[in-house]
Every structure is written in C-alpha cells, then in structure tokens.
Structure 1
Amino acid sequence: MKADVVFTHAYVLTMKGEGVGMIEDGAVAVKGNRIIKTGTHEEVMKVCQTEEEVDAKGKLIMPGLIDAHIHTGLAILRGVAQDITGWMEEGLWPFMKHVTDDDHLKGSMLNIIEGVKAGTTTFCDYDSNMNELAENYAEIGAKARVAEMVNEIPKDIGDLPAGELYPFDPAIGERKLQNNIKLMDKWHGAANGKVTCLFGPHGPDMMSLDLLKETKSLAEKYDTKLHMHVCQGDREILQMEKRYGKRSIPFLHEEGFLNDRLLAVHLTEATKKETEMVAASGASMVNCSGSIGIIDGIVPPVLEFTEAGGLAALGSDQAPGNNCNNMFNEMKFAAILNKVKRKDPAVFTATKALRMATIEAAQAIGLGHETGSLEEGKKADLVFIDLESPAMSPVISKPVRNIVPNLVYSANGSEVADVMVDGKFIMKDRQILTLNERAKIKEANEAAEGLSERAASQFTAQHSPLVAMMERGEL
C-alpha cells in the first residue's frame, strides 16, 4: 500500500487492546489524514511504499491527548480563584460580569495554544460564545468537540448572597439554547470534520426543568451527547434540594437523563450509591483532579465510578482555579490523588491514567471511532515525545519498561516535540505552525489588563478574601 509518510524506528504507543500497545522499533504509516498501518519497522515497511520515510529514533509516537472537559474562554482569568473556600462566588463571579466576548475569544486561544504545546489534540470545550470560540480551533488546526454552556443565570449572579436560590431568566436560557442550535448547524462537521458539537446544559441547578428537558430533546434529535456538570459542588446540591427537594443524581434519574448520552462532569458531591447509579446507566464521567483538588480540596469518585463499570475520561476544567490546562498534569494528579485517597500505591496505575487521557477519553466523548489510539483507519492525531529530554531519560526497556510511568509521573508537556492533527503538523520542534503564538499571547495579556481594571471596584466592594491576601503580602 502507498503511504504519504512513514515514521520509523520509534517507540510506538498504540493504546490498542486493554493496555498501552507498546511497539519497540515501531513505525506509523500515514496517508492523507488517516493511519494506514502501525507495527514494527519491518512489518510496516514490508507492506508500505512511501517517498518520505522519517527516522523517528529517540522519539515516542503516541495518540494525541484528549482534554474531555475544558472552559477555554476562562483562560483570560487564569489564577484568580484558588486558595479560597468560595472560589466561584468570591473569585470567579466578581470578574464574570465584566468579561466581554472579545475577552473570551482571546482567552480561549491562549488555552488552546497551551494545550497543543503539551500534546492535546482534541478539546471538549464547554463555554459561552462558542460560535466565536470555535473559530480559534479552525485557525490553529486542533480538533474540538464543542458545546454552548446553556443556563438561565443572570450575569450579575455574583451579587447574590451565597446560599440563596438562583434566579432564572428564561430569556437568557432561550438565547443560549439558540446559540447551541446555531453551533450545531454551523460547526458540526466543520473545519474538514475536526470540529463537532454537543449540547451543553450548564447543570441541573442552573436552569429550569423545562429548559433542561428541551435541551435533552435536542440532543436526541441531533443524535449527540449532553455535556453537563453533575454534582459539581455542595452549592449545586443545596440549590437542587431547595428547588426540587432532591439531590442532583436521583433528580436526573427520575427525569430520564441517566443514559449513554450523558457526559457527567465532576460527580464531586456524589455518594457511592449515586456514583454507581450513574456508572450503571451507561453515562460517562469526566474527572478533573487538578481543578477539584485546588478549588474544593476533594478527590472526585472516579475510582469508584470505574470500579462500578463506568467509562471515565480526564479533563483540565478551568484556568481561574486550576491554573494549568495540561493533560500531563491531569494524568499525574488523577493517579497520585487516588493512591493517597485509598492509601494504596497500586490502585490507580499510570496506564489507567494514560488510557483516560487517550482511548477511553475518546470513547467517553463519542469519538472513539476516529481518535484516541493509533489504529488503521483512524485519524492521524499523533504526538511525538522527545525521549532524550531529561524527564524521559533514561529509557529502559528490559527487564521492565519505564516509558509509561515516566510519561505520567515525570513528564510535564515540554517533552512534546511535534503535534500532528488529521495528518498535518500543527507544531514542529515546539513551534506552532498555524499562527503567531507570541502575538496571540500578547493580545490575551492586553485584554486581561482591561478586564482587571473594570473589575477592580467589584472586588473592593465585596471585601474579597483574595484582595485581603494580597494586602497581607500573601499574593
């Protein structure tokens, strides 16, 4: 068979089967935007002819990482809401009423650049103004699974005293729902199929039951998934009990939302029984260890979820409280925090974390048929890791291999040398090829300066604990 290019003499991490599918002295053949053959160098070159053979000795070729839950527009507020107990009410919301659509757009590109440089090729982005944010993915060439975050919450929600019932504005909900429908009509399958769409109810506490049901009906009509926060914090449970007299998961079960369309994010406050109920329903879970660890001090029940037979993925969530939108960070956090939680170093392996950022993430978000592993017929979403970088050295293959543990526990993303999406390099030698990285970062910094000036009086008026920390010299 004829290939456009064959990458040879690499370690190839296919993620086939139940493990990682490691091939030593491996090769990957690409034609157009798809993989046509993987195997040892000898096996691939025996059946593939190509005019371009690239010697990848000293590299690991692996599937692109998948960030299954990220709010890229919030990168404009990176690092403004951690180390306090009310991260959303006291850190994020005072800023949000001052964030413009242009701020969201520039922050989003910042996050996407960050992710690509750390090997993320697919972003499951969940934010407002997604019709505009999707343009960033088309520009940089990354893959995106996008949803408009639909809710009925007014922009001045930060003025509401903590614990009071959220006011719903149906006009806001209708506008955001229409934006999600427009997103589906405009972007589903756009950018040569690299951008696809989901429906994105913000959470069962953030919208009326009527709007929640309408969103569910649309997901069924368009045959796609629902990307939704579920049990994301005690504030959600409080709102649900005040409004419906039920906790989130029993409520969603009664209303018919627990099924394989649901991508349930966080489950932070779910009981063991509720976690098992979601897993048994066929819904998938997204675990955001870095974010929830920093903003809530909690280890989400991803281990309990998978032990109950559920399919889970990893996500980086939001930059205001997590700071880092990097899937190497999430793999390490997920493994270490769950080991500590169970007091068992063997309970959450590096392989388990890696699968949740590749093949199982792809399956969870509904793209397992085209990405997440290096298999014949799948899209050529490849990441090339420099095995001669300090964090990946030395490479040991006998009597045991150390590449996978070092990927999860040692690497930080700077080891990613090249990134290919759909058969085209969008980063080579750590340089983004499709846009001016420095110019985009400068634009985001300038937007953040203006936003900070607009929000300053809000923080002073609310006696923000973050401002107090800064005045004490702690920030």
Structure 2
Amino acid sequence: MKADLIVANAFILTMEGKGVGMIENGAVAIRGDTIIDVGSSDEIVKAYKTDRLIDATGKLVMPGLIDAHIHTGLSLFRGAAQDMSHWMQKGLWPFKKNTKEDEMVKGSMLNIIEGIKAGTTTFCDFDHGMNKIVANYKRVGARARVAQTVNEMPDNVSSVPVGELYPLDPSIGEWKLQENIQLIEEWHEKENGRITCMLGPQGPDMLSVELLLQIKALSEKYDTRIHMHVAQGDREINQMVKRYNKRSVAFLDELGYLSRRLIAVHLTEATREETHLVAKRGSSMIYCAGSIGIIDGLVPPVMDFLEAGGYAALGSDQAPGNNCNNMFNEMKFAAILNKVKYSDPKVFPAWKALRMATIESAKAIGLEHQIGSITKGKKADLILLNLLEPNLSPIITDPIRNIVPNLVYAAKGSEVETVIIDGQFIMENRQMQRVDEKQVVLEAQQAANQIARRAREDIEHAQSDILHMMKNGYL
C-alpha cells in the first residue's frame, strides 16, 4: 500500500481510549488529508511504501491542539487590559473603538501565527469583522471554526458609566447578524472542509430577546452551533438582573438556549447548580484558565461541569488580558489553578488537561469525527515536538512515563518543530510555509502604532489603570 508521508520512530499520543493512548516507537501513515494508519514503526514501515519518511527519533507526535475560544482580531491590544478592574470597559473598549477592520485583519494573522508556532491547528475564532479575518485561515492553511460577533451595542458604549445598562440598538444587531449569515453562506465547509462556521451572539446581556430568538432559529436552519459568552462576569450578571430580573443561565434556559447547540464560554459567575444545568442540557463549556485568572482573578467551575458529565474544552481567549495565545500555557494554568482552588494536587491531572486541548475539545466544538485524536480515517492534523530540549529532558519510560506531565508543566510551545494540517506542512523546522512571518509582525506593529495614537483620548477618559501605573512610575 502507498502513503504520501510516514512519520516513524516517535513517541505517539493518539488520545484514544480514556487517557493519552501512548505508543512508544510508533508511526503514522498519511495519504492526502487523512490518517490511513497508526501503530508500531515496524508494522507501519513494513506495510506501506511512501514518498517521504520522517525519522522522528527523540520526538513526540500528537494531535494538533485546539484553541476552542479565541478572539484573534484583538491581538493588537496585547497587554492593554490586565492588572485592572473593569478590564473590558477601561482596557479593551478604548482601543477597540479606534480600530479599523483592515487593522484587525493584520492583528489576526499575527495571532494565528503565534498559535500555530505553539502547536495550535484548530482555532475557534469569535470576533467582529470575521468575514475578512477568515481569509487569513485560507491563506495560512489552518483549520478554523469561526463566528461573527453579534451584539446590539453602539461604538460609544465605552462612555457608559460602569454599572449602568448598555443601550441596545436593534439596527446594529440586525447588521451584525447579516454579517454572520453571510459568513456562513460564503465560508461554511470551504477549503476542503477546513473552515466551518457558527453563530456568535456575544452574550445574553448584549442582545435583545428578539435577536437571541432569531439566532436560535437560524442555528436550527443552518444546523450549526452557537458560540456565546455565558455568565462571563459580574458585569454581565448585573446587566441581566437589572434588565430581566434573572441571572444568565435561568434566562437562557427559558429561551431554550441550553442544548447541544450551545458552546457556553467561561461560566465564570455560574453557581454550582447553574453549571450542572448547563451540562445536563447538553451544552458544552469552554474554560479559558489564563484569561479569566488574569482579568478576573477567578477559576471558573469547570470541575463542577465535568462532574455533571459535560464536554469541556480549553481556550486562550484574548491577547489584551491574557497576553499569549498558547495552548500549552492554558493546559498548565488549568491544572495548577484548579489544584490551588481545591487544595488538592491530584485534581486536574496532566492527562486531563491534555485531553481538554485535543479530543475532549473536539467533542465540545462538534468536530470529534474529524480531529482531536490520531485515528485511522481522521484528518491529518498533527504536530511534532522535540523532546530533547532541556526543559523536556530527560525522557523516562520505565517504570513510569514522564512525557505527559512534562508537556503540561514544562513545555513552552517552542518545542513544536513541525505542524501538519489537512496533510499539508504548515510549519516545518519552525518556519512558516505559506506566510512571511517577519512581514506579518511588521505590519501588525505599524497598525498598533496607529491605533494607539487614535485611542489616546479614549484611554484617558476611561481612566485606564495601566495609564495610572505609568504616570505613577510603575511601568
């Protein structure tokens, strides 16, 4: 039999079964965009002829990582909204208000490259201007599950005093919804199926009941999922109680939103009972450990969600508050923060964190039939890591294995040498294959400089904590 590519003599984490599915001295055979076999190196090399054989001695092969919640269009505001209260109003919105769509697109490409270089092969991107941003995924060759952000909030919402109700404008919501519909009709299942689309209501506090119900009906019409922030902070709960006299989860349950179609992001402020209800209704949860830890100082109830039998995934969220979009960082944060929360070192073991960035994530976003594990018949989305880097050495395989704990607690992402998506080399030997990385960084810097100049007055009006720290000589 013939294979286009065989990667052999590697440690392989298939992610099959209930753990990581380790194969020592294993091989993967790929034809076109598909994994056609996986097993021991001796068996695979003997069974297949190939155009290219990669000797992966001292390396690890595993499924590409899945970032289940990211806003790539916000990457130009990296580091602008941490170490402060009201991070969105004071940190993010002054920059967002002064950003042009072409600048968002440039920043998005920067973020995508960052993710790929740290092993991310699938991005659940959720942002404004997605009809333009999505072309970056076509260009770079990554897998994307995208949604246009839909809300009814005017651009000057940053001027609304903290705690007051947001003004909602139905005309804005209708325009943004039409953008989301256009995204679905033009891009869903395009690029050999690498690009798929969802609906993206920003949060229950940012849309009217009428628009939420319209989106729910459209999710059934297009048979797609709804990617939405739910109970993401006390700001949202405050808005919901003032507007509807209900908390977010109860409100959404009454609207019939809690179903397998809903991907509920954060659940930061959800009670144990609310969290269990979301899980039992069949919705999935995205846990962004680094982001929520930095911008809120909280650990969302992911353990309660898993206890109730729900599907949960990890996401990196946004660069303004989280600063990096690196799934190895998220795995480490997720494990450590929950150990601290529960005062128990056995909570959230490394293998669980790794599954929540691969196969469990694929289940949560509805793509487990294609990605998330190294399985015969699935898409060839793989990453190769060098285990001989000092921080991942030594390799111990007997009487215990230390590879998975070291991946979660010691890897930085720079150990990823090669990224294969849909059977194509997207990065090889740390070099991006389809885009000029240096040019992308340069263009992003130029765009960020322009935004910062335009945003100066709004940043001062918002009384940014970072600005105060600078003026007081701390930054």
Place the TM-score, normalised by the shorter chain, in its bin: over 0.9
8 Å Cα contact 2:90-2:463 kept in structure 1: no
Q: What are the equivalent positions in structure 2 for 1:27-42 lying under 5 Å apart?
A: 27-42=27-42
Q: In the alignment, what sits opposite 1:347? A: 347
Query: Could you tell me how far 1:45 is from its partner in structure 2?
Result: 2.6
Letter in 2 for 1:4: D
Report what 2:105 is aligned to. 105
Cα distance in 1 for partners of 2:386, 2:395 equals 11
Q: Which residue of 2 aligns with 1:416?
A: 416
What residue identity is the alignment partner of 2:435? L
After TM superposition, the score normalised by the length of structure 2 is 0.99
The TM-score, its normalising length taken from structure 1, stands at: 0.99
Match of 2:319 in 1: 319
Matched with 1:206 is 206
Deviations 1:28-71 (A, max 9, x none): 00000000000111222343232322211111000000000000
CA-to-aligned-CA distance 1:176-216 (integer Å, 9 cap, x gap) = 10000000011101122111000011010000010001011
The Cα offsets for residues 292-338 of structure 1, whole Å up to 9 and x where unpaired, read as 00000000101111011111000000000000100000000000000
Contact 2:11 2:22 (8 Å CA) reproduced:
yes
Residue 293 (1) aligns with residue 293 (2)? yes
| Aligned mates of 2:52, 2:245 — CA distance in 1 | 64
Q: CA deviation at 1:460?
A: 2.3
Distance (whole Å) between structure 2 residues aligned to residue 157 and residue 178 of structure 1: 21
The equivalent residue for 1:403 is 403
Distance 1:462 1:43 in 2: 63
In the alignment, structure 1 residue 233 sits paired with structure 2 residue 233: yes
Q: CA deviation at 1:468?
A: 1.1
**How far apart, CA to CA, are the structure 1 residues paired with 2:92 and 2:306?**
31
- Which residue type is aligned with residue 98 of structure 1? N
Q: Aligned partner of 1:92: which letter?
A: L
Work out the CA distance in 2 between the residues paired with 1:460 and 1:2. 63
Which position in structure 2 is the counterpart of 1:95? Answer: 95
Letter in 1 for 2:268: T
Matched, 1:461 2:471: no
Report if aligned partners of 2:158, 2:462 keep a CA contact under 8 Å in 1.
Answer: no
Structure 1 ranges of 4+ moved more than 3 A: none
Aligned-partner SS, 2:426 = strand
Q: CA deviation at 1:346?
A: 0.4
Corresponding position of 2:171:
171
The within-5 A match list for 1:356-395 is: 356-395=356-395
> Within 2, Cα distance between the matches of 1:242 and 1:315?
30
Rounded Cα–Cα distance in structure 2 between residues aligned with 1:172 and 1:390: 53
Q: In 1, Cα distance between the equivalents of 2:142 and 2:474?
A: 38
CA distance in 2, matches of 1:459, 1:215: 33
**One-letter amino acid of the structure 1 residue matched with residue 117 of structure 2:** K
Q: Is the 8 A contact 2:292 2:298 kept in 1?
A: yes
Secondary structure of the structure 2 residue equivalent to 1:329 = helix
Q: Deviations over 1:84-137 (max 9, x none)?
A: 011011111112210110121011001000000000000000001101000000
What amino acid is aligned across from residue 177 of structure 1 in structure 2? L
Q: What is the CA–CA distance in structure 2 between the aligned matches of 1:54 and 1:234, rounded to whole Å?
A: 51
Contact 2:203 2:228 in 1 (8 A): yes
CA distance in 2, matches of 1:392, 1:346: 22
CA distance in structure 2 between the aligned counterparts of 1:234 and 1:402, rounded to whole angstroms: 40
- Partner AA of 1:392 in structure 2: L
Question: Where does residue 183 of structure 1 map in the other structure?
Answer: 183
Determine helix, strand or coil for the equivalent of 2:156. Answer: helix
Percent identity (aligned): 60
Deviations 1:428-460 (A, max 9, x none): 110101010000010000000000000112222
Measure, in 2, the Cα distance between the counterparts of 1:217 and 1:318: 29
Question: How far apart, CA to CA, are the structure 2 residues paired with 1:463 and 1:42?
Answer: 64
Q: 2-side partners of 1:426 and 1:82: how far apart?
A: 32
RMSD: 0.8
Instruction: State the aligned residue count.
Output: 475
Shift of 1:343: 0.3
User: How far is the alpha carbon of 1:473 from its aligned partner?
Assistant: 1.7
What SS does the corresponding residue of 1:191 show, helix, strand or coil? coil
**Equivalent residue letter for 2:362:** A
List gaps (5 residues or longer) in structure 1. none
* Contact in 1 for aligned 2:260/2:283 (Cα 8 Å): yes
Q: Aligned partners of 2:60, 2:384: CA distance in 1, in Å?
A: 6
Cα deviation, 1:205-255, whole Å, max 9, x if unaligned, reads 000010001011111111110000000000100111011110000111111
Give the whole-Å Cα distance in 2 for the aligned partners of 1:424 and 1:222.
29
Q: What CA distance in whole angstroms lies between the structure 1 residues aligned with 2:272 and 2:464? A: 35
Paired AA for residue 38 in structure 1: V
Q: Supply the AA of the counterpart residue of 2:313.
A: A
* Alignment match, 1:159: 159
Q: Supply the distance in 1 between the matched residues of 2:346 and 2:463 (Cα, whole angstroms).
A: 45
Q: Which amino acid aligns with 1:324?
A: C
1:309 counterpart letter in structure 2: G
Residue deviations 1:356-412, cap 9 Å, x none?
000010111111000010000000000000011111111110000011000000001
- Matching residue of 1:49: 49
The aligned counterpart of 1:73 is: 73
**1: CA distance, partners of 2:416 / 2:265:** 27
- Cα distance in 2 between the residues matched to 1:5 and 1:465: 52
Give 3-state SS (helix, strand or coil) of 1:285's partner: strand
